[in-house]
Amino acid sequence: MIKVLFVCLGNICRSPMAEFIFKDMVNKKGIADEFYIDSAATSNYNELDGAGIYADAKKMLKQMNIPFTEHKSRQIRKKDYDKFDYILAMEDKNISNILKIVGTDSQNKIHRLLDFTQNPRNISDPWYTGDFVTTYYDIVYGCEEFLNHIYKEQ
Ligand code: 4NP
């Protein structure tokens, strides 16, 4: 079982989108049983509010026929570092914030999602940009290349 945790600042836009896009991808490939997939935030704002996936993120997933269930925002915890094999962040700032919570990345589990691609970069925050379409395609690109990376390794 490969355990993957997607992480962003609020866990209401990018990381839940990545969670459900990746779940759909492995489902369609018939390999869902090989994965445990979840998402979390670096901040605790939305956990305190009990917030679910942001409406525009849900709209984008619906538009692209990506099934999703309810997901409540939660902050990443120190024990998640041991639980997960891959902790996939959306941007540099997420990584420094994850490290503040989990300590050092001694097992090299923490990466930016787009670092698995030929074009390593941050995924912009649609909470601020309003551009959920770019976010969607960046996440799909990152998830496809991450999957290629995993299967190249085995
Ligand atoms: P996300 O976007 O990190 O992609 O989930 C954000 C959502 C909410 C907030 C910040 C970023 N916020 O400040 O509440």
Read off the pLDDT band of 153 (50, 70, 90): low
Q: Does residue 127 line the site of ligand 1, with CB under 6 A? A: yes
pLDDT in tens, 75-106: 999 999 999 999 999 999 999 999 999 999 99
Our answer to whether residue 125 is catalytic in this structure is: yes
In-domain check, residue 153: no
Q: Tell me: the pLDDT tens digits for 118-146?
A: 999 999 999 999 999 999 999 999 999 99
pLDDT at 154: 62
Per-residue confidence (pLDDT) for residue 49, from 0 to 100: 87
pLDDT confidence of residue 115:
98
Q: Residue 31 C-alpha to ligand 1 middle, in angstroms? A: 30
In this prediction, residue 97 carries a pLDDT of: 98
Residue 34: DSSP 8-state: G
The answer to whether residue 80 is catalytic is no
Catalytic residue among 38, 80, 125, 138: 125
Q: How many domains does the chain have?
A: 1
In a domain, residue 154? The reply is no
Query: pLDDT-based confidence at 152, cuts 50/70/90?
Result: confident
| Phi/psi at 137 (5° precision) | -70, -35
For the entire predicted model, the pTM comes to 0.97
Place 4 in a pLDDT band, splitting at 50, 70 and 90. very high
Q: In what order do the strands lie in the sheet with 86-89?
A: 35-41, 2-8, 86-89, 110-112
**Is residue 31 situated within a structural domain?**
yes
Over residues 7-58, the pLDDT tens digits come to 999 999 999 999 999 999 999 999 999 999 999 999 998 888 889 999 999 9
Closest ligand 1 atom, residue 8 Cα:
3
Give me the long-range contacts of 102-110 (CB less than 8 A, separation at least 24): 102/76, 102/78, 103/78, 109/81, 109/84, 109/85
- The pLDDT of residue 142 is 98
Range of the domain at 10: 2-148
Q: What are phi and psi for residue 96, nearest 5 degrees?
A: -65, -35
Q: What is the CATH number of the domain that holds 63?
A: 3.40.50.2300
Q: What is the DSSP letter of 91?
A: S
